[in-house]
Amino acid sequence: MMVESASETIRSAPSGQNGVGSLSGQADGGGGGGGGAGAASTAGGCAGRDAASGAESNGEMSPAELLHFQQQQALQVARQFLLQQASGLSSPGNNDSKQSASAVQVPVSVAMMSPQMLTPQQMQQILSPPQLQALLQQQQALMLQQLQEYYKKQQEQLHLQLLTQQQAGKQQPKEALGNKQLAFQQQLLQMQQLQQQHLLNLQRQGLVSLQPNQASGPLQNLPQAVCPTDLPQLWKGEGAPGQPAEDSVKQEGLDLTGTAATATSFTAPPKVSPPLSHHTLPNGQPTVLTPRRDSSSHEETPSSHPLYGHGECKWPGCETLCEDLGHFIKHLNTEHALDDRSTAQCRVQMQVVQQLEIQLAKESERLQAMMAHLHMRPSEPKPFSPPVTVSAADSFPDGLVHPPTSAAAPVTPLRPPGLGSASLHSGGPTRRRSSSDKFCSPISSELAQNHEFYKNADVRPPFTYASLIRQAILETPDRQLTLNEIYNWFTRMFAYFRRNTATWKNAVRHNLSLHKCFVRVENVKGAVWTVDEREYQKRRPPKMTGSPTLVKNMISGLSYGALNASYQAALAESSFPLLNSPGMLNPGSTSSLLPLSHEDVGAPVELLSSNGSSSPPRLSPPQYGHQVQVKEEPAEAEEDGRPRPPLVPPNPNTTGPVEDRDLEEELPGEELS
C-alpha cells in the first residue's frame, strides 16, 4: 500500500536534518497546510454534507473572525498611536521615545518608523508576540488614558458649570431662548454629523468596531466614535444646514427637555479613574501624543480655571478670548449663566461624558479581553510551554524567548511562527500549529505545564494527532486505550477537541490506522490501541549528523537548556502560577515511563534530550488518565497473531512504572524532532 511504502521510504530516508525538518513540516506545514484548506473546506463543505459538523464549523468561525477583527482593530489603534507618537514628539530619537520603545521591547526602528506604512499584518509579522502585545497594551493604555483624561476634564467642566450657575445664575433673569436655542440645536446637529463622520472614519480605520447593537442607535454610536480630542471641536460647529434641529435632537436622543436623570450617573467617581492619572505612560513617556495640548496642564494649575485655558473660554462651543482669569470669570457669569441654553449644554455634556464613560468601559473591557486572550496564547514563539506566560515572554529578551531550535522557524525573531493566524484565532479552525512539535518541546512536559490551559482554552494544541494519541496512550498505566478512550482523552484534555468532533475523530482514526506505530490489539471486550514506540521513533530519521540545521539545533538546544533556569525563574513570576505549581508540573509524563531503546535515536538527539529537555524533574503519577480503563485479557490479545508492540507491555502487571520512568528520558522523538 501507499502507506507501507511511504513508511519504508521514511525509514530508509537519509534525510539528515529531518529530525528537525520533519518537525517543522509537522508543525507548520502539516498544521498550516491542512489548516487553511481544511478549514475552508470544513466550513463550507461540512455545512452541506453534514449539518451537525457544518454547524459546528460555521459556529466556530464567527468568534475566530471576530477575534481576528478585533486584533486588527487593536493593531490599527496601535498604528494610530504610533503615528501620533512619531509626529507628536519633537524629536523621534529623544530619550523619552527610546525609553518608551525599549520599555515595551518594541524595536525603536519599528515603533518609530513603521506605523505610517505598516499594515496590521505587517506589524504582526514584524513584531514578535511579546512586542506586539506590549505595543498593544501600551496603545490601549494610551487610549484609555486619553479617554480618562478627557472624561475628567469634562467632568470638571460640568461641575464647574453647575456650581457657577447655582451660585451666580440664580440672581440673573432668564434670558429669552429664541435664537440661541435654535443655534444650540443646530450645534447639536452639527455635532451629530461630525460624530457620524468621525465614526465612519474610525470604522474605516478599524478603530471602532461596528457592532450590531451599536450601529443602530445614534446616541450610542456617535459618542462612542468620538475621539476625545475631537469632542471639543464638535461643539464649535456652525449651523448645520438641512435637517431641522428638532429632528436632530430627537434622533440623537438628547432629550433637552428631560430631567437630568443621567447626570447622577457620572457624579460618582469613575471607577476607571486612573491611577495613572498623570501624564506619564507606564513606560515613563509623557502623554503628549494628542493634540490636546491646550487644556490639561494649564487648567490644573491652582490659579487657573477648568473652563479657562490659553486665554480663552473653554466652555463648549464658546472660545471667547479672555485676557485673564478675572475677565473669564466675568464672561462666565454673564455668558454662561444658568439659563436654558447653558442647561442644555450641560445636559449634552452629560451625554458626552456618559458616552465617554460607556466607551471607556467598553474599551476597557475589550482591553481586558484582549489581554486575557493574549495572555493565554498558547503558541508563543517560546516553543517550550507556550501558553504558560506571555508576560514572562515579554520580560524575556528575544534570545530567551525564541525557539531554540529555530532551524525551521526562521531565525527572524520578529516573525513569530504561528502568531499570525493561529494564535490570533486561537479558537478558530485554523490548523496552523505553531510551536511545540516544531520546536522540540516535549509534549508531556508541555502538556503538564499547560494542562489547565489546554483544558480550558479553546486552543488547538500544537501537537500532531499522532503525538497526542501517543501521549494519550502512554499516559495510561497499561499503555493501551480503546478508540473511545482516546476520544475521551482528547476531549478531556483539550477544550479544542470538544468541538468539531466529527473532524478530529476522523483524524484520530485515520492516524491510528495510518501510522504503524499505533498497534491495534484485539481484546475480548474490543480492540485497544497501543504504541509501538520503536516504530514511533522510526518516524523520525535517526541520523542528523553533519547537517547545519542540526548544528544549529544542537546549539539551540544547549542554549535552551542553559537558559532553562532563567526561563523557569521567569515562569515563577508569570501570571499563571497555577501552571508553575509543582502539582502542575508534568502530571502526565507517563510517556516517559515507557521503556525505550535509544538505539534508533541519533546521538545528537540524545544530546538535545539530555541538555535541552525541559522535562520537569517529575514524576507524579498520571493525573488525567483516571477515566482510562485498564484493559484486560492481554493474553488473548497475543493470540490474534498481530505483532505485539515490542515496547509496550499490554499487561499492566508486568509494568513497573518506576523502572520505566528511570529508563526513559523523555525521548525527543516526536518532541525533539
Binding site for DNA (CB under 7 A): 1-3, 6, 9-10, 13, 15, 17-18, 20-22, 24-26, 28-39, 41-42, 45-46, 49-50, 57, 407-409, 417, 429, 431, 433, 463-466, 482-484, 487, 502-504, 506-507, 509-514, 520, 526-527, 529, 539, 541, 549
Minimum distance from CB of 280 to DNA (Å)? Answer: 41
Q: Of the two residues 541 and 668, which places its CB atom closer to DNA in the complex?
A: 541
Minimum distance from CB of 452 to DNA (Å)? Answer: 22
Minimum distance from CB of 37 to DNA (Å)? Answer: 3
Q: Of the two residues 221 and 553, which places its CB atom closer to DNA in the complex?
A: 553
Minimum distance from CB of 581 to DNA (Å)? Answer: 29
- Tell which residue, 109, 110, 115, has the closest CA to residue 88: 115
Q: Of the two residues 513 and 610, which places its CB atom closer to DNA in the complex?
A: 513
Alpha-helical runs (H) found in 89-178: 95-103, 108-113, 120-126, 129-164
Q: Of the two residues 159 and 642, which places its CB atom closer to DNA in the complex?
A: 642
CA distance 636 to 122: 59
**b/e sequence 486-500, b meaning 16+ C-beta within 10 Å:** bbebbbbbbbbbebb
Residue 105 CB neighbour total at 10 angstroms = 21
Tally of helices (H runs) and strands (E runs) in the chain: 30, 5
- Tell which residue, 120, 128, 165, 136, has the closest CA to residue 332: 165
Q: Of the two residues 33 and 656, which places its CB atom closer to DNA in the complex?
A: 33
Minimum distance from CB of 606 to DNA (Å)? Answer: 19
Minimum distance from CB of 268 to DNA (Å)? Answer: 49
* Strand-pair partners of 530: 480, 519
Q: Of the two residues 6 and 163, which places its CB atom closer to DNA in the complex?
A: 6
CA distance 650 to 666: 20
Minimum distance from CB of 74 to DNA (Å)? Answer: 24
Q: Of the two residues 186 and 421, which places its CB atom closer to DNA in the complex?
A: 421
Q: Of the two residues 186 and 523, which places its CB atom closer to DNA in the complex?
A: 523
Minimum distance from CB of 478 to DNA (Å)? Answer: 16
Q: Of the two residues 431 and 618, which places its CB atom closer to DNA in the complex?
A: 431
Q: Of the two residues 464 and 564, which places its CB atom closer to DNA in the complex?
A: 464
Minimum distance from CB of 531 to DNA (Å)? Answer: 14
Q: Of the two residues 107 and 541, which places its CB atom closer to DNA in the complex?
A: 541
- Which residue in the block uniquely carries the three cell numbers 480503563? 629
Count CA atoms within 13 Å of residue 351 on its CB side.
24
Helix (H) or strand (E) holding 386, with range, is none
Pairing state between β 480-481 and 518-523:
unpaired
Q: Of the two residues 410 and 577, which places its CB atom closer to DNA in the complex?
A: 410
CA distance 47 to 506: 17
Minimum distance from CB of 586 to DNA (Å)? Answer: 22
Question: Residue length, the chain?
Answer: 673
Q: Of the two residues 2 and 117, which places its CB atom closer to DNA in the complex?
A: 2
DSSP 3-state of 638: helix
* Strand-pair partners of 233: none
CA distance 212 to 216: 7
**b/e sequence 234-245, b meaning 16+ C-beta within 10 Å:** bbebeebeeeeb
What is the DSSP secondary structure assignment for residue 260, as one 8-state letter? -
Minimum distance from CB of 512 to DNA (Å)? Answer: 6
* Strand-pair partners of 519: 530
Helix (H) or strand (E) holding 337, with range, is none
Contacts of 267 (CB under 8 A, 6+ apart): none
Q: Of the two residues 33 and 577, which places its CB atom closer to DNA in the complex?
A: 33
Pairing state between β 308-309 and 526-531:
unpaired
Minimum distance from CB of 197 to DNA (Å)? Answer: 39
Minimum distance from CB of 120 to DNA (Å)? Answer: 19
CB 7 within 8 A of CB 518: no
CB 477 within 8 A of CB 496: no
Intra-chain end-to-end CA distance of the chain, in Å = 26
Minimum distance from CB of 45 to DNA (Å)? Answer: 4
Helix (H) or strand (E) holding 520, with range, is strand 518-523
Q: Give CB contacts under 8 A, 24+ apart, made by 363-366.
A: 363/140, 363/143, 363/144, 363/147, 364/144, 364/272, 366/70
